[in-house]
């Protein structure tokens, strides 16, 4: 299957590292013009340079902005007045005992993980509908379906993204625009390495720490390993293409079989 996104412009929020960086690279490799987003100009430029190094003739737009704020979202819309592909990847996570999560933390997680995506969808979906083509995606998590007791505030936001995705898919019905969420399973990123070491012995070498984490905290994974970011990116690139024209309103799983259900 040859995916060609030449002529399409994409924005991937929170794309300076991890899953977001892999998605941005994958879209660039498929020929899309890709806006790389993060909060600081230096970090964004470094991420853009890495994509240019990995992908010959990549068309990358460094876009430094905190899209979790109204001003940041407005700046993005000013720099990129039209988009073909919006990937709402930005997210924060961390462990916290359920009864110790403060009101401030609940609000922060909702504003960063959910409201930022809603604002950008609100900004770009009307133009996509008017042009009769577009792709909006939300990077959710297995935590949307299997709420982890050690971070229910994070799980709540990912469940909310499934509802947001389904709702905006209905708003886009019949327009040629598809809206989906991607349920990512436990994925190997730098941030996840830190999280794993919060839950297992820090003296363990990484391969052993990963196995111990999966055994103790994610035993239902059928993959029995952490997913690589590129594996999530492959699904996002596919959903961004014309091949996925009949896939909308879905919660598409790239979870390594972690969610023990036939449907999300």
Q: What are the strands, taking DSSP E only, across the chain?
A: 9-12, 33-38, 60-64, 85-88, 134-141, 177-184, 251-254
| Whole-angstrom distance, CA of residue 202 vs CA of residue 180 | 37
Whether 138 is catalytic:
no
Residues in the chain: 264
| Whole-angstrom distance, CA of residue 253 vs CA of residue 264 | 8
What token pair was written down for 95? 């462990």
Catalytic residue among 124, 138, 154, 258: 154
For helices 18-29 and 229-239, give the axis angle rounded to 10 degrees.
50
Decide: 105 and 156 in contact? Cβ < 8 Å.
no
| Whole-angstrom distance, CA of residue 160 vs CA of residue 129 | 23
| Whole-angstrom distance, CA of residue 92 vs CA of residue 251 | 20
User: What are the residue numbers of the active site?
Assistant: 154
């Amino acid at each position: 299957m040859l995916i060609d996104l030449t002529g399409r412009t994409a924005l991937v929020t929170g794309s300076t590292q991890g899953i977001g960086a892999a998605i941005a690279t994958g879209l660039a490799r498929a020929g899309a013009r890709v806006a790389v987003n993060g909060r600081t100009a230096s970090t964004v430029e470094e991420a853009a340079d890495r994509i240019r190094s990995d992908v010959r003739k990549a068309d990358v737009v460094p876009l430094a902005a905190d899209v979790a704020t109204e001003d940041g979202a407005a700046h993005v819309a000013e720099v990129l007045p039209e988009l073909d592909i919006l990937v709402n990847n930005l997210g924060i996570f961390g462990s916290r005992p359920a009864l110790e999560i403060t009101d401030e933390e609940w609000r922060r997680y909702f504003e960063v993980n959910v409201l930022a995506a809603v604002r950008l969808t609100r900004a770009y979906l009307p133009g996509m509908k008017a042009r009769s083509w577009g792709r909006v995606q939300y990077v959710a998590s297995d935590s949307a379906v299997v709420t982890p007791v050690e971070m229910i505030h994070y799980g709540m936001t990912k469940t909310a993204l499934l509802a947001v995705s389904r709702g905006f898919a209905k708003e886009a019905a019949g327009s040629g625009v598809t809206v989906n969420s991607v349920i990512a399973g436990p994925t190997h990123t730098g941030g996840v390495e830190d999280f794993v070491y919060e839950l297992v012995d820090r003296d363990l070498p990484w391969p052993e720490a990963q196995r111990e984490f999966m055994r103790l905290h994610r035993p239902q994974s059928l993959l029995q390993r952490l997913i690589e970011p590129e594996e999530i990116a492959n699904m996002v690139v596919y959903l961004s293409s014309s091949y996925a024209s009949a896939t909308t309103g879905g919660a598409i799983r790239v979870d390594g079989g972690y969610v023990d259900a036939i449907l999300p």
